[in-house]
Amino acid sequence: MPILIQTSNLSKEYSGQKIFSGLSFAVSEKQKIGVIGRNGAGKSTLFKILSGEEASDSGELIINEETNIGYLRQNDDWRENESALAYLQRQSSRPEWRVRQLASKFELGRDKLAQEASSLSGGWRMRLKLSGMLLKDPNIFLLDEPSNYLDLNTLLLLEKYLQAYRGSFMIISHDREFLKRTCKETIEISKNGCYHYPGDIEAYLAFKEKKLETIIKANESLERQQQHWQEFVDRFRSKDSKAKQAQAMIRKINKLETKRISIEHQAGITRINMIPVAKRHNFALKINNLDIGYGNSTVVSDIDFDCRSGEKLVILGLNGQGKTTLLKTLSGRIPALNGSFRFAAASRIAYHGQEEMEMMNGQEQAGDFLRRLASAELKTEAVLKMAGDFLFRDEELKKPISVLSGGERSRLLLAGLLLSKPDILLLDEPSCHLDFETTEALAMALKKFNGTLLFASHDRTFSSLIATGIVEISQGRAKRLHEDYDDYIINLEKKLWSQTEDNGLPAETVKMAERARYLANKDRQKKIQSLEKELEKMQAYKQELLTYFLEHYQEYSPEKTQELEDIKRAIADKEEAWLRLNAEQEKSENG
């Protein structure tokens, strides 16, 4: 199986700070790998190095000459007034039927492809760029946190595509469900190297937990032995008759210390403890005929639903449909256009969104930020405990916010909001930028939260753990659903698959595609048959030459020798062409 990408001891630093070192792994054909690691471990940096956007500081990166890497970039690269269809044709140089066929897998139908690419909403733009990347037929592609940019519908469509994809890919994601459904292997990146496990995320985490238990038990056994010998040293060190034995024991203790196995990330997030808030039993929020949007532009109208205290509602819908707009309106960041909403009296409301992270004072230290947001009645111990739960301890608390990564800022903001003791939390993609260990720890904490929660998230594991109800926003309307979140996902998948059945293409496009495929296959078959006839003749001539050499073994003929070498090379070239055409034929026949 050809190796597409191979790395050996890659290392990278920024401003003298080590991002990672000692990264060594290989990716071959048809490998589907999930890439995990804590925030700041260098996962995105690794992808930039593999795609050629950045260079490593040391180590070796070998890219096979036949490797075609697809890397989903976030920047827009369409031309002014260019239609979505024209963009895809320009990007891929593919015939129209093939462009429409692949685009339809992401619900980019005739209407969407006819629109200007720049006029599409964020979610459809991402689908367009994803289609453009895949139309280039990469034999390995890199996806960096797709759930941060793709809405749930697109993520499900991408998931289905990846399950059927016959090439290789590497995916960075904190969405455990997405990795479980798409990746068969796992690579964990850390500052000191990486570990490549030949199993999916669930199998790897189970293996890692068992390995950790074994290491802890081994270290505890060493510690008990050290303590036993240390007691002997402390007791007899000052006695001349036992001095030599005591020194021998000290050497043994030092030798045992070298056998201790270090546990990376032992201080990671395992549990987040919420500050208790009083449990209420009335309505937390009432919304009546609410219109939301910006200026004169209405995004969602006639919103009308109630939310009881203690409920945890997930807001779902395509990108650009109004999920963030609703949360910003309820938080008071933007005014309502019409109608009304009201929270229960004396409610404390906290809002977490991307703009909140961007507005954080870069000069303020992390510890000062938490103390400023913390409720006045909380003691210092409670503030430090919450800070520690979110991995801010000692030196981390002294860091200015400007040097924190996106994941660290998100953790800090969440910790600060929880310290403010809110009754009602409004969270817009709270798991964005967080590794999945932190995401799941946050989910378990919010599940036990006595207050009310309204949140938007594409992370299925996170949402499934928390959601007690659903608000679905679609085509300018918001609807309160009371179905189970997992049932909603199952029903959404069925709906998407039925919409994309038969590729979702118009009949004339299907006929065009089938006709083009038929003609291409017919032409290929003729070439294969022609090559087979040529090879038959060439093999016969080669055999004639070999017979000549057997019959005239005492004679040397430079002309005949050269002819034999030439015919061998020609046969090898024809055989390679025959193999290539047969592989193309098989690929076409299988889909």
**Residue 245, in any domain of the structure:** yes
Short-list 256, 68, 76, 247, CA closest to 167: 68
- Check whether residue 120 and residue 189 sit in a common domain: yes
Q: What is the pLDDT of residues 261-292, one digit of tens each?
A: 554 444 445 678 888 888 888 899 999 999 99
**Residue 449, in any domain of the structure:** yes
- Say what the pTM is: 0.70
**Residue 463, in any domain of the structure:** yes
Element at 322 (helix H, strand E): none
Structure tokens at 530: 């022609």
Short-list 225, 427, 193, CA closest to 314: 427
Orientation of helix 406-419 relative to helix 380-389, angle to 10°: 150
CA distances from 536 to 44, 540, 571 (A): 52, 6, 10
- Check whether residue 425 and residue 512 sit in a common domain: no
pLDDT computed for residue 504 by the predictor: 47
- Check whether residue 194 and residue 222 sit in a common domain: no
Residues 6+ apart with CB under 8 A from 81: 116
pLDDT computed for residue 522 by the predictor: 76
Measured between alpha carbons, how far is 86 from 64 in angstroms, rounded to an integer? 31
- Check whether residue 173 and residue 222 sit in a common domain: no
- Check whether residue 326 and residue 252 sit in a common domain: no
pLDDT computed for residue 479 by the predictor: 92
CB 471 within 8 A of CB 316: yes
Strand partners, 285: 307, 343
Residue 258 pLDDT > 60: no
Mean pLDDT for 143-166 is 84
**Residue 388, in any domain of the structure:** yes
The residue that leads in pLDDT, 510 or 61, is 61
pLDDT computed for residue 19 by the predictor: 86
Res. 305 pLDDT band, cuts 50 70 90: very high
Segments forming the whole domain that contains residue 198:
3-204
**Residue 391, in any domain of the structure:** yes
- Check whether residue 218 and residue 200 sit in a common domain: no
Res. 369 pLDDT band, cuts 50 70 90: very high
- Check whether residue 60 and residue 37 sit in a common domain: yes
- Check whether residue 472 and residue 535 sit in a common domain: no
- Check whether residue 105 and residue 246 sit in a common domain: no
**Residue 432, in any domain of the structure:** yes
Mean pLDDT for 521-531 is 82
- Check whether residue 217 and residue 198 sit in a common domain: no
Orientation of helix 485-499 relative to helix 152-164, angle to 10°: 60
Residue 502 pLDDT > 50: no
Q: What is the pLDDT of residues 528-551, one digit of tens each?
A: 888 888 888 888 888 888 888 777
563 phi and psi angles, rounded to 5 deg:
-60, -40
CB 311 within 8 A of CB 466: no
CA atoms within 13 A on the CB side of 197: 19
Measured between alpha carbons, how far is 129 from 482 in angstroms, rounded to an integer? 35
Count how many domains the chain has. 4
Short-list 490, 492, 566, 582, CA closest to 532: 582
Residue 39 pLDDT > 90: no
**Residue 402, in any domain of the structure:** yes
* Final residue before a domain boundary, out of 176, 204, 232: 204
pLDDT computed for residue 584 by the predictor: 75
- Check whether residue 77 and residue 224 sit in a common domain: no
CB 483 within 8 A of CB 490: no
Provide DSSP, 158-210: HHHHHHH--SEEEEE-S-HHHHHHH-SEEEEEETTEEEEESS-HHHHHHHHHH
* Final residue before a domain boundary, out of 179, 204, 229: 204
The residue that leads in pLDDT, 251 or 159, is 159
- Check whether residue 376 and residue 410 sit in a common domain: yes
Question: Residue 70: which CATH number?
Answer: 3.40.50.300
**Residue 272, in any domain of the structure:** no
Q: What is the pLDDT of residues 188-246, one digit of tens each?
A: 998 888 889 889 998 888 888 776 666 666 666 666 766 766 766 666 666 665 666 66
Picking from 168-172, 344-348, 480-484, 586-590, which range would have the lowest pLDDT averaged per residue? 586-590
Measured between alpha carbons, how far is 570 from 545 in angstroms, rounded to an integer? 14
